[in-house]
Structure 1
Amino acid sequence: MHAWLCTEPTGVQALAWTELPTPAPQAGEVLIEIRAASLNFPDLLIVQNKYQKKPPLPFVPGSEYAGVVAAVGAGVTQLKPGQNVACLSGTGGFGTHAIAAAELCLPLPDGFSHVDAAALIMTYATSHHALADRAQLQAGETVLVLGAAGGVGTAAIQIAKTMGARVIAAASSAEKCALCRSIGADASIDYSQDNLREAIKTLTDGQGPQVIYDPVGGDLSEPAFRSIAWRGRHLVVGFASGPIPALPWNLALLKGASIVGVFWGDFARREPRSNAAMMGQLAQWYAQGKIKPVIDRTMPMAELPAAYARMGARGVMGKLVLVN
């Protein structure tokens, strides 16, 4: 097998395409022949030693992937060789093969493409957990999605619309705003050109959004939170812009608003039954055509450094997927 090996987490330049022995699955594990792996923002942070979870060295990055089960270890009865699966294991995806715990593998129904499957779990699970569970989004409410053209943003648009909400998509270019409207957003704000607070005020008749989905942080969080509706919920999803904002607490008091943390990974670990039910609903929505990952482009696995460069330049709209 071959894989992109990280021996020192000093950045993308430290990765090397390396030939490695193809491992055999141990008890409770499966060997997956990888067909597609998506690039997520944590995959960039982890090779820069900036992610909260730091795997032992050396490691193969790539948190989310899909492929075919090549072999199963002792005790694995729910999966069999030849079966199509998707997996979110945190590492291991940027190669030709990976070992994963069988319990982390999602069997794919017929007609579920490897590319879509590799782009589904992290972003859609995060967005569903955020909107349905943490925000308790109700039909008819207005959701403002920041960074709306990215992987979690496009997922949030589709999920919020499926739940009956009105969606305002905020993104950094006219092209990205057009993409958001094409997948269901009711309105858009180009915050590279428009004043965010004034645009929100106009689009909500001065009432503000009931829910703010914020994977960006930085300079956008405070003006968005200042615009929130009474009893609004500001979802803290991530900090793609880099800086972690420091909000004046009096703003939450004045609006009767909530700042709500979203950590899907720990939710899945702590509440596995609830997470399994959520994943089942997402698979059903996919089969019904209600959600579908937005694929920016596919690239050969050998071009991973170029894929990282595109993500680092904020050029990705939706998800970028590496294929073998």
Structure 2
Amino acid sequence: MHAVVLHAFGPAENLRYETVPDPVPGPGQVRIAVKAAGVHLVETILRSGRAGESLPPQPELPTIFGGEVAGRVDEVGPGVDPSWIGRDVVTAYGKPGGYAELAVADVTSVHPITIGYETAVAMVVTGVTALQFLDVADLIPSDVVLVTSAAGGIGRLLIQYARGLGAKVVGAAGGPAKVAAVRELGADIAVDYDQPSWAESVAEELGGRTVTALLDGVGGDKARTAFELLADGGRYVTIGNASQQDFLPDPQTVKERDLTVTNALMLLLSEPNTRPQYEVRALAAAAEGTLTPAVQTFPLARAAAAHAALETRATTGKVVLVP
């Protein structure tokens, strides 16, 4: 089969499209003919060789990234009901990763699907994460919600949910195209946080109302600016760090203003056992049309380009590889 293999840590160009042996499903496993594979920001960090406390351990090389896999079962291993063959499925635990034409997974980790492959692969991790963040944020209809990195895969789902709830929604993203995408999602206010006066624009458009819930996926200076828009008694929820720059609110300010600060990303990493129930919820939300992920596809052979685009924040929505 063809697969994208990393032999040495480094730049995106180190991802090589090559021929490797077909995987064979072992006991309790199914093999999936991959139709869509998700690309995650953390994979770009692991590929580069960087490490950190909040990151998974670096893989042994050579490796094939991509746990998020959707496709059709074409073979089963010992002990697996043959009726799985021919079924469309999705899993968050493809082995080797989904940057390949074939992947195997434990049958206990796969979900039958009736939605599109690309939608399914977007929801099984990105959708799950969005729902987990939303449960932490505990939004209510009277909230004024500010989402940074609003044009990303998770940000778009957060905006959809908050709008469906009836909350006032502010979406901040970088560049005119992304701002337009955020506006099309139904955000009440869409702003370009690459512009120096973006926070003042938000305050003016809110007309006296203040942000009660900030879901920040950027970190760094943009998070610091967004934090200043938060009302006393508000909630600051960290859901990502796309800038790779830390922002830690001053503890004294947090206390004086009665703010709630939650690092949702770290919280969820400490509670991995809740994932299966969220996977069911996320796939059901997509099937019902409650949440619709945006997907940007790249051919499997151009996985390096997908990584480069993701690293430079030149993508919109969930990045997905297709054979």
Instruction: Give the 5 Å matches for 1:28-47.
Output: 28-47=28-47
2:250 to 230, 236, 248: 248
Shift of 1:75: 3.7
Match in the other structure for 2:91:
87
Match in the other structure for 1:23:
23
TM-aligned CA distance change 1:202 to 1:162, over 3 Å: same
Q: Describe the superposition over 1:34-86 as per-residue Cα deviations: whole angstroms up to 9, x where unpaired.
A: 01112221121121123511222221012322111122223445971111111
If the length of structure 2 is used for normalisation, what is the TM-score? 0.90
If the length of structure 1 is used for normalisation, what is the TM-score? 0.90
TM-aligned CA distance change 1:257 to 1:77, over 3 Å: farther
Match in the other structure for 2:221:
219
TM-aligned CA distance change 1:30 to 1:173, over 3 Å: same
Shift of 1:207: 4.1
Q: Describe the superposition over 1:251-272 as per-residue Cα deviations: whole angstroms up to 9, x where unpaired.
A: 2112211111223763662335
Instruction: Give the 5 Å matches for 1:2-81.
Output: 2-50=2-50, 52-53=55-56, 54-77=58-81, 80-81=84-85
Query: Which segment is superposed worse, 72-81 or 170-179?
Result: 72-81
Which secondary structure does the structure 2 equivalent of 1:119 belong to?
helix
C-alpha separation between the residues in 2 aligned to 1:79 and 1:47? 37
Q: Contact (CA 8 Å) 2:6, 2:61: kept in 1 or not?
A: yes
Which secondary structure does the structure 1 equivalent of 2:84 belong to?
coil
Q: Contact (CA 8 Å) 1:6, 1:15: kept in 2 or not?
A: yes
Say if 2:171 is the partner of 1:172. no
Shift of 1:306: 1.8
TM-aligned CA distance change 1:70 to 1:203, over 3 Å: same
Q: Describe the superposition over 1:148-170 as per-residue Cα deviations: whole angstroms up to 9, x where unpaired.
A: 11111112111222333221000
The runs of 5 or more residues in structure 2 that have no matched partner are none
Match in the other structure for 1:118:
121
TM-aligned CA distance change 1:242 to 1:78, over 3 Å: farther
Q: Contact (CA 8 Å) 2:189, 2:202: kept in 1 or not?
A: no
Instruction: Give the 5 Å matches for 1:131-146.
Output: 131=134, 133-146=135-148
Q: RMSD of the TM alignment (CA)?
A: 2.2
C-alpha separation between the residues in 1 aligned to 2:274 and 2:176? 39
Q: Contact (CA 8 Å) 1:196, 1:224: kept in 2 or not?
A: no
Amino acid at match of 1:123: T
C-alpha separation between the residues in 2 aligned to 1:104 and 1:42? 21
Shift of 1:147: 0.9
Amino acid at match of 1:198: E
Amino acid at match of 1:288: E
Q: How many residues align?
A: 317
Instruction: Give the 5 Å matches for 1:222-301.
Output: 222-263=224-265, 266=269, 269-272=272-275, 275-276=276-277, 278-296=278-296, 298-301=297-300
The runs of 5 or more residues in structure 1 that have no matched partner are none
Highest RCO, 1 vs 2 (Cα 8 Å, sep ≥ 6): 2
TM-aligned CA distance change 1:280 to 1:88, over 3 Å: closer
Which secondary structure does the structure 1 equivalent of 2:211 belong to?
coil
C-alpha separation between the residues in 1 aligned to 2:126 and 2:89? 17
C-alpha separation between the residues in 1 aligned to 2:101 and 2:59? 20
Which secondary structure does the structure 1 equivalent of 2:214 belong to?
strand
2:112 to 101, 107, 126: 107
C-alpha separation between the residues in 2 aligned to 1:288 and 1:162? 13
Q: Contact (CA 8 Å) 1:124, 1:156: kept in 2 or not?
A: no
TM-aligned CA distance change 1:55 to 1:265, over 3 Å: farther
